[in-house]
Structure 1
Amino acid sequence: MDSSSNWRGFLAHVRPRLRASCPFLAASRLTIALAALLLAASFPARAWGPMGHRLIAELAERQLDPAAIAQVHRLLGESGASTLADVANWADDVREDPNGGELSRQTRRMHFVNFADSRCRFESARICAGGQCAVAAIESYGGVLGDQSKSDHERAQALRFLVHFVGDIHQPLHASYRPDRGGNLFQVRYHGDGTNLHAIWDSRVLGSLRIGWKRYARRLDGRVVAAGPMAPRSWAEQSCRISRDDGVYPLGRTIDVAYLERMRPIAELQVQRAAARLAALLNQALD
């Protein structure tokens, strides 16, 4: 399927939602508006927000084997941190640091994977060329972490990236559609202000509960879910299907309390899956 087919498929998916919220727009004007937004697209922002990433890291650490915990604490000590939650947002800090240099440039596209269309099929050559996506990043850094021949510095850096990228790939709009840049081009209103759907999922779906990450961890503690297949590409495809099938894309333009309450259980389940899979990955790599 070529890029024009991908674009047509995306329009077929989102045009009914845009038309429902903007009935005065003709089809041609909808297409022009979407095309203009595409030109202004930027990279996805912070998946889950700082709170969500710390929440995933904390829940994962509670599921680590004693041997893995000891290794994690030893490697984290290299950077002065003591828990996974302490380093959960480090990868975002690297990306946003204007002086981040080569590391920032090399990892900028590893926070997400944009599927070509709503089939949600991971095709490495098409959507992860050169290993530049979250799926390949998790596979690569997982290998580094488990390689005893690597230096502690390399393994500690891999650990910090893994904690973050596993969280990223479970945010449905960080594993969504290329044509709308994972919801960045799906414009909505929240409390009267203009924003986009990706931003709502980054911070508002979990944040609307208005509790801190430590309290949120207590709320979710004990609801451990099975890790399931230990294949990052399967995790990404699952996230993409959620964004496609579970009402993540609203019919209207306004994000209200009812939408956030419908989406929160979905987000919480994804947080729990991310924590279980991160813990399983670390237990395996640090065995």
Structure 2
Amino acid sequence: MKQITIFFVILFISQYNTVAASPEWGATGHRTIGEIAEKHLSKKAKKQIETLLQGQGLAIVSTFGDDIKSDDAYDKFYTWHFVNFPFDQKYKDSEKEKRGDIVMGITYCIDILKDTNASQEDKIFYLKFLVHLMGDLHQPLHVGRAEDKGGNDIKVLWHYKKSNLHRVWDSDMIEFYNMSYSELARNTSDLSKAQIQSIQQGSVLDWTYESQSLAKKVYNSAQPDEKLSYRYSYDHFQIVRSQLQKSGIRLAKVLNDIFD
């Protein structure tokens, strides 16, 4: 009887952790972004990045920001994965997170990579982190509301399984689509040179406001405890795919600016 009780306690904890955990974009999303970015790198930038990463591609290092969460030594970077400020307020006027946010984090990574005095070790670390954070920035709920933790506290059912709105946009829709990151990267929309240049225009802050604008729509897309299924993917997965593609294209632009 004691063994049965222990089994159900472990099962409950396991299920709770599965629901509570919410990796940004999930591994598949982040790797898709890295793979897309590779296609838009200049030859000069690609060569320097390959040297720094010792031959590793952007897809393989794209999950670095989540991987290091398992190490307490990197707890100080936790708040770099998102930014929360009121929808009716400008970022510059908002109260800032003392430990930093995603806008500050991306800016810091870029500064280190441009710093000729920065160590090789720091350049590698912050390059990996930059790849990850540029992905996070394009997940709308990473620019969501603080009061619901970017949708993490909005519980929903995803195909009859417990989830939350943040997780649905991070990984549930992507995993349900059942394509590998390389397949998703290959099957992006065909864009003209002018369209690509248009996507790459603007600053990190402009892209932050763009994600926040999408976050407003995401919040209106579902109610607490709602049962989300095929129709939800039909209505919203194209936004996910578009954000993955934009993120990869913009990541390449940022890296080209740094290394060209």
**TM range, smaller chain:** 0.7 to 0.9
- Name the CA distance, whole Å, in 2 between partners of 1:66 and 1:196: 41
Q: Amino acid of the residue matched to residue 285 of structure 1?
A: I
**Cα 1:84/1:140, change in 2 over 3 Å:** same
Query: Is 1:232 the counterpart of 2:204 in the alignment?
Result: yes
Cα contact 1:43–1:181 (8 A) shared by 2: no
> What is the Cα deviation at residue 182 of structure 1?
0.4
Query: In structure 2, what is the equivalent of residue 107 of structure 1?
Result: 77
Q: Amino acid of the residue matched to residue 49 of structure 1?
A: G
Query: In structure 2, what is the equivalent of residue 48 of structure 1?
Result: 25
Within the candidate set 265, 283, 286, 2:238 is matched to 265
Query: In structure 2, what is the equivalent of residue 69 of structure 1?
Result: 46
- Name the CA distance, whole Å, in 2 between partners of 1:100 and 1:180: 24
Query: In structure 2, what is the equivalent of residue 118 of structure 1?
Result: 87
- Name the CA distance, whole Å, in 2 between partners of 1:254 and 1:158: 39
**Cα 1:108/1:251, change in 2 over 3 Å:** closer
**Cα 1:73/1:44, change in 2 over 3 Å:** same
Cα contact 1:59–1:221 (8 A) shared by 2: no
Residue pairs, 1:186-201, within 5 angstroms: 186-201=154-169
Query: In structure 1, what is the equivalent of residue 5 of structure 2?
Result: none
Query: In structure 2, what is the equivalent of residue 144 of structure 1?
Result: 112
> What's the TM-score, normalizing by structure 2?
0.84
**Cα 1:55/1:162, change in 2 over 3 Å:** same
Structure 2: which 5+ runs fail to align? 1-18
Cα contact 2:79–2:99 (8 A) shared by 1: no
Q: Amino acid of the residue matched to residue 240 of structure 1?
A: Q
Within the candidate set 94, 100, 111, 2:68 is matched to 94
Query: In structure 1, what is the equivalent of residue 214 of structure 2?
Result: 242
Q: Amino acid of the residue matched to residue 121 of structure 1?
A: K
Query: In structure 2, what is the equivalent of residue 203 of structure 1?
Result: 171
SS at match of 1:179: helix
Cα contact 1:176–1:243 (8 A) shared by 2: yes
Query: In structure 1, what is the equivalent of residue 126 of structure 2?
Result: 158
**Cα 1:46/1:67, change in 2 over 3 Å:** same
Q: Amino acid of the residue matched to residue 182 of structure 1?
A: G
Within the candidate set 245, 248, 252, 1:275 is matched to 248
Q: Amino acid of the residue matched to residue 256 of structure 2?
A: N
Which one has the bigger helix percentage?
A: 2
Cα contact 1:90–1:160 (8 A) shared by 2: yes
Q: Amino acid of the residue matched to residue 47 of structure 1?
A: E
> What is the Cα deviation at residue 100 of structure 1?
3.9
- Name the CA distance, whole Å, in 1 between partners of 2:89 and 2:213: 6
Cα contact 1:120–1:240 (8 A) shared by 2: no
Number of matched pairs: 237
SS at match of 1:216: helix
Cα contact 1:68–1:282 (8 A) shared by 2: yes
User: More displaced, 258-267 or 217-226?
Assistant: 217-226
Query: In structure 2, what is the equivalent of residue 214 of structure 1?
Result: 182
> What is the Cα deviation at residue 249 of structure 1?
3.1
Structure 1: which 5+ runs fail to align? 1-41
Please provide the CA RMSD for this pair.
Answer: 2.2
Q: Amino acid of the residue matched to residue 120 of structure 2?
A: D
